[in-house]
Structures are given as structure tokens and as C-alpha cells.
Chain A
């Protein structure tokens, strides 16, 4: 027993020695913040840090944001620096990441998850010059933007699309956990289906997790076995369901978060797309004008940050009258004449 304690103490000692040695040998190891401050004085580069709950290739929530930031960075021609932390699903890890980025002098920190609200609200007041953005959320602060996709809007119009095109009169939802965006999305979709008329049934089943890809696939198969010919669902596990839908010709999937038609070009009929580029553009613009936060940014059809994208390969399959109904609903939602009740 004693031996082991000694071993562990030794290991700690070794780590400390190693760290001292490493810290000593590189001459450039000045405290990082000072260095970045100096750098910032020289250039007007904007440093953006992105904290993601899953990975940059999850084909959903995280990837959609990552691609938008990446594109803005490329378009800026070197004016924007970008740092990314992936797999920060646990709030405790995200907290460390956000605080570290803040101390390193980043200008904008995007905490891309609803579960980051607490930690952003706690850290932001200590760093009044940094802009924080997180979502889905509503609570802002002097230097906090909260973005809030109105997932129910796209869901509603896709509900109309599904109900009007379904031959079996049954549509299925593959849900993750009944919370957050999934509630908005599912409620909007069901109301869209109901609004389309024609006595179409909506069935819903949850996997109980956000990343149970295999089970999402099984739920999709079960929906199809039980007669559904139009399916939809949110969160990163949806790709599993899309693959299952692709295995049965004549069945279609409706996507959310990003254009998922790349996953299965023959199965994804349309996608609700969050236009993060516009959201970020707005944040950058406001920041330039001196507004560091304080706004609750909704992504909706009205402000153009929410889009409906048809899969070009399958678009021709949508009958003209269905498409007209969908477009009309979209217009009405944008104009505010059509309200979707979330209660």
C-alpha cells in the first residue's frame, strides 16, 4: 500500500518536473494572454472561439454552426481567427473551455448549446469586452447574445408537406428527448399535419437520448412497419433514422438543423436550415457598432435566418398544389398572420 502511494506521489513529482522542464526549455512560453494582447494591438483580427457539444461532422446541430463559422472565416480573407473545441457535451468541460478562451483574449465566444446558459451567464460579467453567444436560449446580458431558432416554423410547413403527400395517411416522428428544440419542432410539425386536413395521423416515439443513432434507426423502421411513409425528427441521432428511411423506397424524410440531403439524396425531401451565417453576420455587425450583446436573436422565416430547402433531386416529386400550400404557409408565418401555439 505504501508502495503505491509513493508511486503516485512520484508520478505527480514527475509530471511537475516534466512541466517545469518543458516550460523552461521553450523560450517563447510567456503567459499566453499577454502575448495575445500584444498580437491584437498589431492587427485587427477578430478571434472567434466555438464550443460544440458534439463533433464538427455530426451532420446536424454542431456541423451546421461549424460550417457557417468556417465559411465566414474563409470569406474574411484572414481577418478572422477561429478555434474550436469539440465533444464539450458535458457542461463542466464546456465551462473550462469557455473560461480558457476568455482568458486567452478571444473576441467572440460561441457556446453552441442550450446547456451552456449557466456557465455563460457566470463567466460573461468577468469579461465585459468579450461577446458571448449561446443558444438555444433567451437569457441575455450586456455582452451575451442568446439565439433561439424557431424550429416550430419550418416544422409546421414540413408538416403540411408530409400530410398532403402521405399516401398511407400516417407520418412518424423520431424524437430524441422531449425537451428544448425537439418540443418546438414536434409541436410545430404536428400542428402543420393537423392544419393540412385529410385525417392524417402523427405518431411519435423517443429514443431517450440525443446520440442513439442505432435506436433512431430502429424507431424509423418501426414507424415504417406500422405504416408511416413520411418521417422526420431532430438532433444528431436523426442520421440513423435517415439511413433507415433510405432503405425503403417510396418513404421520405424531412430534415431539420441543416440540409441533410447529402446523407441520403433519395430519401430527404426537404430540410429546415438554420442560416447561422446570417446570425453570425448580425452579431459581427452589432459588435462593430459597439453592441456586445443584450439581444435575443430569433431565427425565423420573417428575418430570413430560417430557410426551407428542397432536395433538388426530389423536388419534382412534390405536386404543384402541395408546394403552393407550403409556400403560402411559409409566407403567412413570416407575415405573422399564422401563429403557431407552443403551449
Chain B
């Protein structure tokens, strides 16, 4: 059994890379050298290792939120907007009270990020629970609204005053006071305590979902709202709660980007984490522990592909091509692990067909 799993995953990976190699050849570059960098880069140096975890952190945090909402039957694709709202709220609070001591300000900033992201997420949750507004529609729209709101704030009232003085007008806030910066775990890297926070929260979410009444009720709503209602569960409340929690976790992801990576809120602070986290969450089988390795793997894939672009100078578009193929192949290979008997069925069907032809 284990042997088959290994074989299938290996085959999927090799298949994806083989097709990707054709495109690298098309771009007149060397696929072997390219893949060498892509596969070894994220693991073979402290730079690669820490940067992988820098990507893992927001994926993990956002993905945990997506797990909670998906488990409750709410398809949250609003992570991107929730990250932005969390980032701007935490930066705003940190900038508003620069003179508070760190022990007070730091928790306050975290709380602000989580609360703002949570409330933003709860909008979609309440709309679904109370007014039957589909969450896919509302989260897609709310993402766009959040993006505009975020820009409005970082170019408007929260803009770095120096940008105005010098007339450069770059849309970004001033640096937040260094008492709230998350400590860098390794000097010379961007890996911060935010990563530890994410791991701790993964365990907390696991406990919440699997070992508390709230978690049980959240999952019961996801398994069947009708049955949950008959069991006396307040379905609208738990739907809204799931989106609040999802938003809060995504908001924390935005907060970690501000406090741990950039030390300010700036343009394009989320590198598509809202969407990548869906992939990570689903690959992790919507399990709060399963997503830890899944988001690490995805972080490594993102970073490795970027390093490959630099190493062999190929168009950046190939990075997306290879990521797309890897996702498609790995997700498609799952069936051979889950239902090995299918393979046999197809084989016999195929041989029967070719038999008829000949």
C-alpha cells in the first residue's frame, strides 16, 4: 500500500516536471539545471529554508481559516481581502499608538489584525446565514472592495508623511514602531516568530475543531445544515462564526506580514496567499495538522520555482506553468491512491476496447 502511494506521487511529480521540461526547452533553456535549482534551492541553504518558511507562515494561517469555514460548509475564497484588512488594521493601530510599551501594544496590534480580518470575514458569513447571499459571490466581491479600501488607506490617511514631504507619494505607511516587530529567528533572514505563532495556532485549531463542543457544532453544520438544525444547533450563528474565525486567522496572516516581514503596510502585501491557501488547505485534506506539511510544500514550490527563474533566466511565466502542472498532476493522482481498483477497471476497459478494434 505504502509502496503504491510512493510510486503514484513520484509518477505524478515526474510527469508534471517532464511536461514542464518541454516548455523550458521551448524557451531555449536547460531543464535539468532548472529543476536542480527548483528542487534543491529551497532545501539546500539557510536562505532557501527560511524563505520557504516565510511563505509557509501566511499560507498556514490563512489555510487554517479556510479549513474552519470549509468544515462548516462555507466556501471561503475571501482570504485575500481578509489578509489586507488585517494588515491595514494592525499597521494602523501600531502607528496610532507608537508610544505604548511593547508588552501592551504588541497584543493590541495582534488583536486588531485578527478582529478586523474576522469582522471582514463575518460580513460574508452573516450575509450567507441571514440573507442567503452565496459566500462565493460575496467573498469574490469583498476581495475587490478590500483591495480598494486598502489602497485608499495606504495612499490616504495612513501614508508615510515623508512620502508627502518628498513628493514621491509612494503608497505605503510609515514603519511601525520596532517594539512590535516580530523577532527574526535567524539573523539575516526574514523568518520571524510569526511562524511559531502559526504552528501554535494550527494545534489550537486542531483542538478547537476536534475536541470542543464549538468545533463539533461547526463540523455538524458543515456535514448537514438540516440535521444540525434538528439537533438544536443555531446554524446561522455557527456559519457566521466560522467565517469570523476564518477572517481572523487570515487577518493574523496579514498582521504577520506587517510585523514580521515588511514592518509596514505596503502595496501588494499579499502574494496571492488567499488563493494558494485554498490549495494548501485542500491538499492537507482540510485537516489543521495536515495543512502544516502541505503549506510547507507549497511554500517550497513557490520559492523553488522563483529561484529557478533567476538561475537559468527563463521567462517568469514558466514558473506559473510548472506550478500549474504540479498542482494538476498531484491532485489528479490522488484517485490512484484512494481507489486503486479503478486503475484495474480502466485497464480492463481499455484492453476490451482495443480488443474489439483488432
Q: Is B337 an interface residue (CB 8 A)?
A: yes
Within A22-54, which residues are at the interface with B (CB < 8 Å)?
22-23, 26, 29, 31
Q: Nearest chain-B residue to A87 (Cβ)? A: B316
Within A267-290, which residues are at the interface with B (CB < 8 Å)?
none
B171, A179: Cβ atoms under 8 Å?
yes
Q: Is A310 an interface residue (CB 8 A)?
A: no
Min C-beta distance of A138 to chain B, whole Å: 4
Q: Is A14 an interface residue (CB 8 A)?
A: yes
Q: Is B271 an interface residue (CB 8 A)?
A: yes
Interface segment, one of A97-105, A232-240, A245-253, A326-334: A97-105
Interface segment, one of B108-116, B226-234, B295-303: B295-303
B36, A117: Cβ atoms under 8 Å?
no
Residues of A within 8 A of B296 (CB): 12
Interface size on B, residues (CB 8 A): 67
DSSP majority for the B interface? helix
A138, B168: Cβ atoms under 8 Å?
yes
Residues of A within 8 A of B155 (CB): 177-179
Within B36-84, which residues are at the interface with A (CB < 8 Å)?
36, 39-40, 43-45, 47, 51, 54-55
Q: Is B266 an interface residue (CB 8 A)?
A: yes
Known A-B contacts A8-B293, A177-B151; A22 and B36 likewise in contact (beta carbons under 8 Å): yes
B39, A22: Cβ atoms under 8 Å?
yes
Min C-beta distance of B302 to chain A, whole Å: 8
Residues of A within 8 A of B190 (CB): 95
Q: Render A81-124 as a binary contact track against B, CB cut-off 8 A, 1 for contact.
A: 00111110111110111011101000000000011011100000
Min C-beta distance of B311 to chain A, whole Å: 9
B294, A8: Cβ atoms under 8 Å?
yes
Residues of B within 8 A of A96 (CB): 51, 54, 303, 306-307
Within B217-264, which residues are at the interface with A (CB < 8 Å)?
257, 261-264
Q: Nearest chain-A residue to B268 (Cβ)? A: A90
Q: Is B98 an interface residue (CB 8 A)?
A: no
A136, B262: Cβ atoms under 8 Å?
no
Min C-beta distance of B200 to chain A, whole Å: 19
B266, A9: Cβ atoms under 8 Å?
no
Q: Nearest chain-A residue to B2 (Cβ)? A: A6
B168, A15: Cβ atoms under 8 Å?
no
B168, A114: Cβ atoms under 8 Å?
yes
Known A-B contacts A115-B170, A180-B168; A1 and B293 likewise in contact (beta carbons under 8 Å): no
Residues of B within 8 A of A342 (CB): 167
B43, A19: Cβ atoms under 8 Å?
yes
B36, A84: Cβ atoms under 8 Å?
no
How far is A10 from B270 in the complex, measured between Cα atoms in Å?
29
Q: Is A74 an interface residue (CB 8 A)?
A: no
Min C-beta distance of B42 to chain A, whole Å: 8
How far is A136 from B172 in the complex, measured between Cα atoms in Å?
13
Q: Is B315 an interface residue (CB 8 A)?
A: yes
A99, B151: Cβ atoms under 8 Å?
no
A7, B262: Cβ atoms under 8 Å?
no
B5, A6: Cβ atoms under 8 Å?
yes
Q: Nearest chain-A residue to B307 (Cβ)? A: A100
Q: Is B15 an interface residue (CB 8 A)?
A: no
How far is A209 from B337 in the complex, measured between Cα atoms in Å?
44
Q: Is A260 an interface residue (CB 8 A)?
A: no
Q: Is B177 an interface residue (CB 8 A)?
A: no
Residues of A within 8 A of B294 (CB): 8
Q: Is B123 an interface residue (CB 8 A)?
A: no
How far is A114 from B319 in the complex, measured between Cα atoms in Å?
24
B287, A7: Cβ atoms under 8 Å?
no
B262, A103: Cβ atoms under 8 Å?
no
A180, B171: Cβ atoms under 8 Å?
yes
A208, B40: Cβ atoms under 8 Å?
no
Residues of B within 8 A of A83 (CB): 310, 313
B151, A92: Cβ atoms under 8 Å?
no
Q: Is A137 an interface residue (CB 8 A)?
A: yes
Q: Is A318 an interface residue (CB 8 A)?
A: no
Min C-beta distance of A73 to chain B, whole Å: 13
Q: Render B297-331 as a binary contact track against A, CB cut-off 8 A, 1 for contact.
A: 10010010011011001011101000000000010
Q: Is B102 an interface residue (CB 8 A)?
A: no
Q: Nearest chain-B residue to A148 (Cβ)? A: B168
Known A-B contacts A91-B269, A118-B266; A138 and B39 likewise in contact (beta carbons under 8 Å): no
Q: Is B13 an interface residue (CB 8 A)?
A: yes
Residues of A within 8 A of B172 (CB): 115, 117-118
How far is A268 from B313 in the complex, measured between Cα atoms in Å?
33
Q: Nearest chain-A residue to B171 (Cβ)? A: A179
A15-B300, A23-B44, A96-B54 known; 14 new pairs, CB 8 Å cut-off, are: A3-B5, A5-B290, A19-B39, A23-B36, A83-B313, A86-B316, A92-B54, A92-B55, A115-B172, A118-B266, A136-B170, A137-B170, A139-B162, A208-B148
20 pairs across A/B with beta carbons < 8 Å?
A1-B290, A5-B289, A8-B283, A11-B9, A11-B13, A15-B39, A19-B43, A23-B40, A87-B317, A90-B269, A90-B270, A90-B272, A92-B55, A92-B257, A99-B47, A100-B310, A114-B170, A139-B162, A148-B166, A178-B155
Would you list the 5 A-B pairs with minimal beta carbon distance, nearest first? Answer: A19-B40, A90-B271, A179-B171, A86-B316, A87-B316
